């Protein structure tokens, strides 16, 4: 998440949306670290409760709002940064909404690409997993994507390259 927030180049005045916000960790961190407004949206009432508790615990109610909604029925006209950690099929379904974001808006995605949208940046990150024994760390590889609106289309021969989900 830290790397994705850095890739999003959040600046004062940005409005950060996390589509499928889970426990709200992204919107809470964005608000605390950058002092920006953030909106978390999730369809699952339990996840919404978790997010609201996280917002209260971190005292960022003045910056963060949490909505229980379907992300496909969302008005994204105020968003300037969108965070995604969704299955690639959902990312692709969101493209008509994301295409309408203001030029220069950034979209960052944890793990999954987005249809034929050509990323402006792809970062492969290796993180250490949970510590089991002192000398035994699991390694996890994460792929992080960034697009800037309006994005370019991927060349057709790049579509089936390894690591691309299509
Ligand atoms: C993998 S979690 C990501 C959580 C969070 N963004 C993070 O990075 O920690 C995906 C979340 O998307 C939510 N979700 C899936 N489909 C949705 C939809 N159509 N509308 C709103 N939320 C959705 C799920 O309930 C789940 O909490």
* pLDDT tens track for 17-49: 999 999 999 999 999 999 999 999 999 999 999
Q: For residue 79, is the peptide bond before it cis, meaning its omega torsion is within 30 degrees of 0?
A: no
**18 touches ligand 1 (CB under 6 Å):** yes
pLDDT at 14 over 50: yes
From the CA of 86, how far away is ligand 1's center (Å)? 6
From the CA of 121, how far away is ligand 1's center (Å)? 23
Q: For residue 43, is the peptide bond before it cis, meaning its omega torsion is within 30 degrees of 0?
A: no
Give the whole-angstrom CA distance, residue 99 versus residue 108: 14
pLDDT at 60 over 80: yes
- Which DSSP string do the residues of 32-54 spell out, in sequence order? HHH--EEEEEES-HHHHHHHHHH
Tokens read off for 116: 């034929």
Domains of the chain listed by start with CATH number: 2-154 (3.40.50.150)
The Cα-based distances of 78 to 44, 49, 105 in angstroms read: 23, 24, 10
pLDDT at 80 over 80: yes
Give the whole-angstrom CA distance, residue 45 versus residue 62: 21
Q: Whose CA is nearest to atom 19 of ligand 1?
A: 70
114-135 pLDDT, tens digit per residue, is 999 999 999 999 987 655 444 4
């Amino acid at each position: 998440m830290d790397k994705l927030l850095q890739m999003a180049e959040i600046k004062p005045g940005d409005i950060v949306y996390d589509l499928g916000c889970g426990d709200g960790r992204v919107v809470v961190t964005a608000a605390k670290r950058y002092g920006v407004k953030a909106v978390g949206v999730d369809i699952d009432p339990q996840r919404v409760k978790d997010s609201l508790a996280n917002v209260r615990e971190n005292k960022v109610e003045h910056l963060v709002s949490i909505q229980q909604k379907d992300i496909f029925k969302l008005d994204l006209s105020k968003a300037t940064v969108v965070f995604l950690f969704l299955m690639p099929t959902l990312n692709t379904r969101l493209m008509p909404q994301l295409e309408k974001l203001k030029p220069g808006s950034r979209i960052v995605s944890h793990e999954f690409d987005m249809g034929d949208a050509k990323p402006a940046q792809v970062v492969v990150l290796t993180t250490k997993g949970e510590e089991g024994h002192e000398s035994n760390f699991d390694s996890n590889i994460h792929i992080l994507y960034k697009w800037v609106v309006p994005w370019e289309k991927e060349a057709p021969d790049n579509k089936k390259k390894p690591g691309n989900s299509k």
